[in-house]
Amino acid sequence: MNPGQLIFLNGAFVPKEAAVVSVYDHGLLYGDGVFEGIRAYDGNVFRLKPHIDRLYDSAKAILLEIPYSPAEMEEIVLETLRKNRLHSAYIRIVVSRGAGDLGLDPARCPRANVIVIAESLALYPKELYERGIRLVTVSTRRNRSDVLSPAIKSLNYLNNILAKLEAKNAGADEGLMLNADGYVTEATGENIFIVKHGALITPPPYVGILKGITRQAVMEIAAEDGIPVREDVLTLHDVYTADEVFLTGTAAEIVPVVAVDGRTIGDGRPGAMTLRLLEAFRRLAVTDGTKISPAVEDRVG
C-alpha cells in the first residue's frame, strides 16, 4: 500500500498534507531563511556533503542557527529518501527563521523551522538537450553582493523570479542576468559557461554568482579531461561570439544554449564539448556522493 509522501518537519516525518508551518513564519513573511536543492541518482545522493556545507554557510551568513549538526542533517536527508522509498529523486531542504511576530526582528523567532522534501525526479525533456535552449538578456540586474549576496542561497528569490518572468514574457527559455557593471553573472537558476578556442570559461564568484555544486563538478571534469578551464569576467560580446554556451544546475545538469538575444551560438546546435561534459557528468553523478542505505526501491505512483 502506498503510504503517501512523507515530509520531514522539525524532527518528525509527517504526511504531505500535514506538513504545515505558521503564517507567522519569517520565511513566509520576509523570505528569511535558506535552502538547498539536491539530487539523488540511482541510490547515490550527488555531493551531499558540499550541499550541506553550503547550506550551513548560508545560514551562518544570516545568523540563522540550524538546530541540527551537519552530520545530523545529512542523515535526515538520507532517511527522508528511505521513508519515501526513493533512490532517484529531487531533495529540497528549507530552513526558515521560524515563527515570530509581524515585526522584522529575528530575535522574536525562537527556533528555526527545518523541512526536508524528497519527491520523484521530474526529468527535463530529452529534446531540450538535443535541440538546446534560447536565452535572452534581462534588464533585471543580479543583486549586488553588498546588498544581498548571491552567494547566500536564501529564500528571498524575488530577484531571480523577476528575471524569469521577464525571460518568459520575451518568449525565451531562460534569462541571462548581468551585474550592476554590465558583466555576465548567471541565468535565473543556473550558472553559465562558454567555450572559446577549446577553453572552458565561467564567471568568477566576485561578479555576483552562486557557486554551484554542478558548476564545480563540471570544472573538475573538464580539468581532468585536459580541457583548459578558467574563471574570467565575461561580457555579452564574449557570450555572443562563443563557440559553445551551456548552463549548469542541480535540476538541469548541463543544458546546451543555441541562441542568445537572437545571436546563433556556434552552428545553432548543442556543441561537442557540451555534450561530452554532459555524458561525463552523468557518469559521475551515480558514483560521487553519499549512498542511500539500506537499499531502497522506487516508490510506485
Residues tagged active-site: 153
**Burial (CB count within 10 angstroms: exposed 0-12, middle 13-18, buried 19+), residue 231:** middle
Q: Whose grid coordinates read 522539525?
A: 10
Residues whose CB falls within 8 Å of the CB of residue 72, separated by 6 or more in sequence, listed in order: none
Per the DSSP assignment, residues forming a β-bridge with 289 are 46
Distance, CA of 53 to CA of 91 (rounded, Å): 15
**Nearest CA to 73 among 51, 90, 88?**
51
Q: Whose grid coordinates read 550558472?
A: 191
Provide the 8-state DSSP code for 171.
T
Residues 137, 175 contacting (CB under 8 angstroms): yes
Per the DSSP assignment, residues forming a β-bridge with 113 are 96
- Cite the DSSP H helix spans in 86-172: 126-131, 158-169
Alpha carbon of 287 to those of 119, 168, 250: distances in Å? 20, 36, 16
